[in-house]
Amino acid sequence: MNDDVVERDLRAFLAARDPGPAPAALAVRVRSRLETDRASRRLMATGRLAGRTAALAAFAAVLILAIIVARPVAFSPGSSPLPAPAQPYSIQPGDGVVTADHVPVAQTIAALLAFAALFVVVRIATDRRVRIGAALGIALIALGTASIGTSDAVGFGTGVLSVEPGGSGPTGDSSGVYVHVTGDRPFTIIVTITNVSRLPLTIEGIPEQGSQTVNGRTQPRLVGLGSLSLCCTATAVQAFRPTILQPDGSIDLAIGGLAGDCAVPPDASAAQTYSSFEHVSIVYEQLTIWHTAVVSLPSAIVLSESGVDCP
């Protein structure tokens, strides 16, 4: 048997088993079934994507809720809104003073759990869009974590710095901003604070300074906080309430102080020493983290001291 005989017999066998062309109706049904299967696969893929997206959205909602619930709450005279006074407001010791030693334990735990969950999603997700969304979530968590420990989001930008009651220094010295009071009497520093970062923040108040006594005599100290309804006089002071500042936003603050037992108005006739405030501390909250910023003033706030027994 040669190859030609084998080929002939094979052709005859195949021709005998050939059922002929498929009926037209069968071809239509096959095409319809294939189109239906493709539509079903697309619907199933859309459903899987929607399910993953919903799971990520639910996780993000739970995370945001956990962070909001875990936000530190300061209990202080300046931590809740107060009605606008009918008379000029007088800053009292303790107004706007907050406890700044908030340790973000709950936020840190929530961030770590969210980071781990999103990392798992990036590793196991088959949909590219889901992986990109999880990676963006990781980047946002990293951004919030990077802000922990930094306290440079507020500063003195373009604004005002003045004191009341104020005056000139001895012999017209203009090297600082002079406070003119006698004894441990109140004075007010009016200063503009600006959000110098790229993210919104909330001005919460000033930190408590603690005891300011040396050799039995009280020292100059900052004891309270108010805000200004108009710039830039102490007669426009009103009760402080936490204030949100957008990037490059600013607020005029009135910081109340007491001059200390030894303060006297500066003059050229008496031998005097001077104490000064070259910085003010501001407590703010950003990305749920509390910070205490030390803001450098463009000019020192100067108070004089007189007497041999004064420190």
Would residue 90 count as lying in a domain?
Answer: no
Residues spanned by the domain of 283: 154-305
Would residue 15 count as lying in a domain?
Answer: no
Q: In whole angstroms, what is the distance from residue 141 CA to residue 119 CA? A: 12
pLDDT for the residue 102 = 67
Taking the model in full, what pTM does it have? Answer: 0.63
143 and 177 within one domain: no
What is the pairing mode between strands 289-305 and 177-179? parallel
3-class SS letters over 76-135: CCCCCCCCCCCCCCCCCCCCCEECCCCCCHHHHHHHHHHHHHHHHHHHHCCCHHHHHHHH
Would residue 12 count as lying in a domain?
Answer: no
Would residue 257 count as lying in a domain?
Answer: yes
Would residue 92 count as lying in a domain?
Answer: no
Would residue 192 count as lying in a domain?
Answer: yes
Q: Which two tokens stand for residue 192?
A: 């503009």
- Reported as a single tens digit per residue, the pLDDT across 196-215 is 988 899 999 999 877 677 77
Q: Which residues of the chain have pLDDT under 50?
A: 68-86
Would residue 77 count as lying in a domain?
Answer: no
Number of folded domains in the chain? Answer: 2
Q: In whole angstroms, what is the distance from residue 202 CA to residue 82 CA? A: 17
Residue where one domain finishes, among candidates 115, 147, 179: 147
Q: How many CB atoms lie within 10 A of CB 28?
A: 10
